[in-house]
Amino acid sequence: MSPMMATLVGLLGVPLLALLIGFRPVSGRRVSRFATAYDVALTSDTRPVLSAYLTRTSRWRAGGGAIGWLAAGAFTSGSGGYHYFLGVAGYLVGALVAEVGASLPVPEGRRRASLVVRRPSDRLTWGARWGPVLIVATLGVHTWIYQAWSTAGRDRVPPSQVMLALAGIGLATAVLWLSCRFVVLRARPVRAADLGAADDAIRASSLRAIGGASLALMCMAALDVMWAMTLALDAPEPANWIMNALGFAMVPAALYSWFGIRARPRPAPKAPA
């Protein structure tokens, strides 16, 4: 296979595969797996609600990711890293758009609001809440080591690149916290117990998708500038080893953010004081 053909396959094959997966019909088995994962009883009321939610979110997320991947090939120099970064960014945008219609319809009759206090911190796990702080701290330590060693190669990483990475992390953090607040505090009228559980599951799934994509984007933004610093500076040991360890740590951190971040379906009950 020629290099041009390989590039074309990579540019079109990944988004095509994402669209095929995202737009495939939602099977009953998939709905059952979702219900089991979030402890929802499948009834005649909850099954169509969950099926509609999975259909909508899968299509928007896959469509956003495909558009982001194609945008990387059209507007960048063709670096593979930008494909992944813009693909995840597009997935996140699609996940946010899908939230516009992800809430359950308001039940008929007299409207009543749930009196349960809802706070984003009760739904998000420790990693989702403190992940941005850890990523910025890691980037700060890496940058401090880079600045501590005066070499001619240091100027190859302009300060604007670091500021751009910090701006991207700040934007992703704002998206994470604001969107999670929107999902958690979205109106929740009193419903039957099974529909209430389905509503909790939908919110938890949305928080997981938005949180995972946001944190993965932060890790990738930090990795880009940290890798540039590592290549530009030949620091003595153990500083060079520490820089490499911090940079490579962003790779499993991004993977954990994408696959490992969880959200609580329902806040844990608090013991009375």
- With a CB cutoff of 8 Å and minimum separation 6, the contacts of 203 are 123, 183, 184, 186, 263, 265
Tell me the residue type at 231: L
Q: pLDDT at position 74, please?
A: 74
Residues 250, 221: Cα–Cα separation, whole Å: 9
Q: What is the pLDDT of residues 43-54, one digit of tens each?
A: 998 999 999 999
Crossing angle between the packed helical segments 193-232 and 80-98, to the nearest 10 degrees: 160
Q: Is the dihedral of CA 100, 29, 257, 158 positive or negative?
A: negative
Report the largest interatomic distance among the alpha carbons of the chain, rounded to a whole angstrom.
Answer: 73
What is the per-residue pLDDT for 233?
A: 77
pLDDT at 271: 46
User: How high is the pLDDT of residue 115?
Assistant: 47
pLDDT value of position 48: 92
Residue 79 Ramachandran class (φ > 0 left, ψ -120 to 50 alpha, else beta):
beta
Judge whether 71 and 82 are in contact, CB under 8 Å: no
Q: 33: which residues sit within 8 A by CB, 6+ positions away? A: none
Q: How far apart are CA 184 and CA 103, in angstroms?
A: 11
**Model confidence over 183-214: pLDDT tens digits?**
888 777 777 888 888 988 998 899 999 999 99
Which stretches in the chain have pLDDT values below 70? 1-10, 76-81, 102-122, 150-156, 265-273
pTM to 2 decimals? Answer: 0.84
